[in-house]
Amino acid sequence: MRREFIIKKIAFVLFLVSTVSFGQHHEAPHAAHSEGHSASEKGITKEYVKEFIGHHLLDTYDFGLYSYTDEAGHESHVGFPLPVILWDKASGLHVFSSSKFHHATTVAESNGAYFKVFHNKVYVTDAEGAIQMDEHHHATNAKPLDFSVTKNVFVIFIVCVLMFFIFTRMAKSYQKSALPSGFGRLMEPIILYIRDDIAIPNIGKKHYRKYMSYLLTVFFFVWIINLLGLTPLGVNVTNNIAVTFALSFITYLLTTFTANKSYWGHIFWMPGVPTPMKFLLAPIELLGTFIKPFSLMIRLYANITAGHIVLMSILGMVFIFKNWIGSPLSFGLAFALSLLELLVAALQAYIFTMLSALYFGSAVEEHDDH
């Protein structure tokens, strides 16, 4: 017993210490890096880490897994390009592959119009790729309407297909026996928990069935996407405020369009409150209906983004401390933080679903005591 314990501890420490080798290996190839990253000639420094994190958390137009620079100084990327679909007011619809952008370095030409990617947005430019800046260093070129399949959109498609297959298989297996088979056995208690502890207490037994499909979808979608964000694939969908905005917007639409009269009555003409106060409180309550889904959006976005930034900064510290004590400790901290992030992934999905159910419940509540 005691020997096993000691062996496990030694193995853990060796595992941590091995990370320092990663810190030292990268100094040589980055000396040949000629892409304009700041301070890369001296190896990896704090500014390089900050810039890396900054553009790593954004969306890309191709599905790139990682890129590396070999000894000859050539940069190669592993991944495949995705279609770029743009609607330019002047020249109409353009569809082309994002390999024309060459990982955001060159100008892409399509049907006579030129586009360039600058800080993750596509701009209309001329043949040399000139970007006009204003005094705050924001680009002032025209922007086409962007409907491209970027990495985030692609991952959302994959997750949709995955969820579809998992749950239709599970539903089909109910025709054979009362217990589901395979992966459905893991999902069944979770689904029952959502029904019994999130939907029914908040929405009530009469109306909960209408909302169950949305609650289940949003719970599993947010959970799977948060978990995927922790993998080294570099997909960070909930990092994008537009995605969380879309989810909370659907919640807002559902509460607004399925609400009954007493819900609107409580907002505009609260019973049991003296009349002058009713005029004062009505706009505040109306604002409250917007702020509640808004807070859903901000909460999910901020939790996941902050977690990713902190995690990547700590991992960057592995490369900055190139000694035998700093790197393993930073790696250990990153490991512990990743475990916390696992909890946060599930918790944020649960909170989103729970608060959505709460808002639906207040929308369909019948007050027969007022």
Partner 1 sequence: MEGLNYIGAGLIVIGAAFGIGKIGSSAMDAIARQPEASGKVQTAMLIAAALIEGIGFAALFAA
Residues in the site for partner 1, rule: CB under 8 A?
197, 295, 298-299, 302-303, 306, 347-348, 350-351, 354-355
Tokens of 177: 């026996």
Question: Could you tell me the smallest distance in angstroms from the CB atom of residue 178 to partner 1?
Answer: 26
Give the nearer residue to partner 1 in terms of CB position, either 130 or 302.
302
Q: Which phi and psi (to 5°) does residue 145 adopt?
A: -70, 130
Give the nearer residue to partner 1 in terms of CB position, either 98 or 303.
303
Question: Could you tell me the smallest distance in angstroms from the CB atom of residue 20 to partner 1?
Answer: 32
Q: Smallest Cα–Cα separation from 144: which of 84, 80, 60, 57?
A: 84
Give the nearer residue to partner 1 in terms of CB position, either 41 or 197.
197
In the numeric block, the tokens 């592993």 are attached to 78
Give the nearer residue to partner 1 in terms of CB position, either 249 or 294.
294
CA 266 to CA 285: how far, in whole Å?
9
Tokens of 223: 């959970």
> Within the chain, what is the greatest distance between any pair of CA atoms?
79
Give the nearer residue to partner 1 in terms of CB position, either 216 or 355.
355
Side chain identity, residue 242: A
Question: Could you tell me the smallest distance in angstroms from the CB atom of residue 306 to partner 1?
Answer: 6
CA 181 to CA 307: how far, in whole Å?
35
CA 215 to CA 111: how far, in whole Å?
45
Give the nearer residue to partner 1 in terms of CB position, either 50 or 172.
50
Question: Could you tell me the smallest distance in angstroms from the CB atom of residue 301 to partner 1?
Answer: 8
CA 48 to CA 56: how far, in whole Å?
12
Question: Could you tell me the smallest distance in angstroms from the CB atom of residue 193 to partner 1?
Answer: 11
Give the nearer residue to partner 1 in terms of CB position, either 69 or 239.
239
Question: Could you tell me the smallest distance in angstroms from the CB atom of residue 305 to partner 1?
Answer: 8
Question: Could you tell me the smallest distance in angstroms from the CB atom of residue 13 to partner 1?
Answer: 32
Give the list of residues 6+ apart from residue 87 with CB closer than 8 angstroms, or none: 93, 94, 144, 145, 147
In the numeric block, the tokens 């217990």 are attached to 179
Give the nearer residue to partner 1 in terms of CB position, either 104 or 358.
358
Question: Could you tell me the smallest distance in angstroms from the CB atom of residue 282 to partner 1?
Answer: 24
Residue pair 243/157 in contact by the 8 Å Cβ criterion: no
Sheet strands (E) in the chain: 62-69, 75-81, 83-88, 92-97, 108-110, 113-118, 121-125, 145-146
